[in-house]
């Protein structure tokens, strides 16, 4: 069995999620590759050492380039703030190493395009962390749509809202810097755009509006110094899909009461399908002629679920979705799967987000082929 040396860059929430997923995937799946926790990198050398020891990595680096250059590392997992995705991924691709990068792919369409072209030139596997698509219930939703259960698709209504920035006194962070992040559209909305494309297909044109509700935030928690905010707090858009369906899209990190409200309703000529990530083990399905919506529960009949539980209704969670994402990644590295979002597909998501920003700035419909 070939050994796969994992190099993880970043030790925040997503770094821990990746480490857990790599640890869990070997416990719940029979893998064609043996995973080895080769190296971990963080800008803080003390934290790098602490996390490497706690998470079972063989070595720690404070310089991410050293991790990429490490001959024991065969896969680069990037979980850093968005603006670092580009230099790290490009360095990994230049070294001929596969890359598993968190979303969004980059902070500009130009960077994203350079990354996808470099990946093609390198000929290596790439994946981007759109883990919500790996939910067995989303797989079921796609299957129902493709099997014609809803008839011809006519509408998509999607929203991804949270409230972690709802308080105007919440301090400035890197997420508030356009050069480092991209606002609610990049942070949350990219997940929803990826989901819309996964379930509905390509978008042809968009019309949009963006808004910065809190124009200033404290420089640090409790500080009287204010910093100007130049990214969107909320985004609303109309979508025209290539299949003729119409859609609405909204994303906000100010919406009180919502914690992970990635939701959608997809309607066709024969039915409607509804989902909410806050109830991620359920779908609601209405077929024309029936009385009310049918509630569908996740269970071992769905691909991926049975690896965690032999019984329906026992619930998967966020970390299980990340484990399923890593499973698809490992199988792709072994040449046994095409599942997951690669750099080329992630570029399409960035292209769609760029079109939304352009439509909002110019107050007009924008065709995706324009960007």
CATH number where 56 lies: 3.40.50.720
**pLDDT tens, residue by residue, 90-119:** 999 999 999 999 999 999 999 999 999 999
Q: What is the pLDDT of residue 177?
A: 87
Average pLDDT over residues 74-83: 97
Domain identity same for 147 and 253: yes
* CATH of residue 352: 3.30.360.10
Number of domains composing the chain: 2
Q: Of 105, 131, 157, which residue sits at a domain end?
A: 131
Place of tokens 């670092």: 84
Which domain-ending residue is among 131, 159, 191? 131
Q: Are residues 32 and 145 in the same domain?
A: no
Please tell me the predicted confidence (pLDDT) of residue 314. Answer: 95
- Domain check: are 142 and 286 in the same one? yes
Q: What is the pLDDT of residue 80?
A: 97
Task: Specify if 326 maps to a domain.
Answer: no
Please indicate, yes or no, whether residues 181 and 197 belong to a single structural domain of this protein. Answer: yes
d(CA 211, CA 231): 8
pLDDT tens, residue by residue, 261-282: 999 999 999 999 999 999 999 9
Percent of the chain with pLDDT over 70: 100
Model confidence at 1, pLDDT cuts 50, 70, 90, reads: low
Residue 70: partners with Cβ closer than 8 Å, 6 or more residues away: 5, 7, 38, 39, 59, 61
Final residue of a structural domain among 80, 102, 131:
131
Nearest Cα to Cα of residue 273 among 261, 262, 263? 263
Shared-domain flag, residues 63 and 138: no
Question: Does a structural domain hold residue 7?
Answer: yes
Residues 127 and 229 in one domain: no
Q: Are residues 16 and 106 in the same domain?
A: yes
Q: What is the pLDDT of residues 322-363, one digit of tens each?
A: 999 999 999 999 999 888 999 999 999 999 999 999 999 999
User: Count of CB atoms within 10 A of residue 104's CB?
Assistant: 26
pLDDT tens string 180-239: 888 999 999 999 999 999 999 999 999 999 999 999 999 999 999 999 998 999 999 999
Q: State which residues form the domain around 9.
A: 2-131
120 shares a domain with 150: no
For the entire predicted model, the pTM comes to 0.96
Separation between Cα atoms, residue 352 and residue 197, nearest integer Å:
10
pLDDT recorded at residue 47? 98
């Amino acid at each position: 069995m070939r050994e796969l040396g994992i190099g993880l860059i970043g030790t925040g929430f997503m770094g821990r999620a990746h480490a857990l997923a790599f640890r869990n995937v070997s416990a719940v799946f029979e893998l064609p590759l043996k995973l080895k926790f080769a190296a971990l990198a963080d800008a803080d050398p003390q934290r790098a050492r602490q996390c490497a020891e706690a998470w079972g990595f063989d070595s720690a680096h404070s310089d991410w380039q050293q991790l990429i250059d490490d001959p024991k590392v065969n896969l680069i997992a990037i979980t850093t703030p968005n603006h670092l995705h580009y230099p790290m991924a490009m360095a990994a691709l230049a070294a001929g190493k596969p890359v598993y990068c968190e979303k969004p792919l980059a902070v500009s369409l130009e960077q994203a395009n350079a990354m996808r072209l470099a990946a093609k030139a390198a000929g290596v596997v790439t994946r981007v962390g759109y883990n919500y698509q790996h939910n067995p219930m989303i797989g079921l939703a796609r299957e129902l749509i493709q099997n014609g259960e809803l008839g011809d698709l006519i509408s998509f209504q999607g929203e991804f809202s949270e409230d972690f920035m709802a308080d105007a006194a919440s301090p400035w962070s890197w997420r508030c810097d356009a050069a480092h992040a991209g606002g609610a559209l990049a942070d949350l909305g990219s997940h929803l755009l990826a989901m819309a494309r996964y379930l509905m297909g390509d978008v042809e044109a968009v019309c949009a509006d963006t808004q910065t509700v809190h124009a200033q935030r404290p420089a640090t928690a409790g500080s009287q110094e204010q910093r100007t905010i130049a990214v969107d707090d909320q985004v609303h858009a109309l979508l025209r899909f290539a299949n003729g369906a119409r859609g609405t899209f909204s994303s906000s990190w100010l919406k009180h009461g919502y914690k992970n409200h990635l939701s959608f309703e997809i309607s066709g000529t024969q039915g409607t399908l509804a989902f909410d990530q806050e109830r991620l083990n359920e779908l609601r399905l209405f077929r024309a002629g029936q009385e009310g919506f049918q509630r569908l529960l996740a269970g071992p009949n769905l691909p991926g679920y049975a690896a965690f539980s032999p019984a329906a209704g026992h619930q998967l969670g966020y970390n299980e979705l990340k484990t399923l994402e890593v499973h698809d990644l490992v199988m792709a590295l072994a040449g046994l799967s095409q599942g997951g979002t690669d750099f080329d597909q992630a570029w399409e998501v960035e292209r769609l987000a760029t079109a939304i920003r352009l439509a909002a700035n110019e107050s007009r419909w924008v065709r995706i082929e324009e960007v």
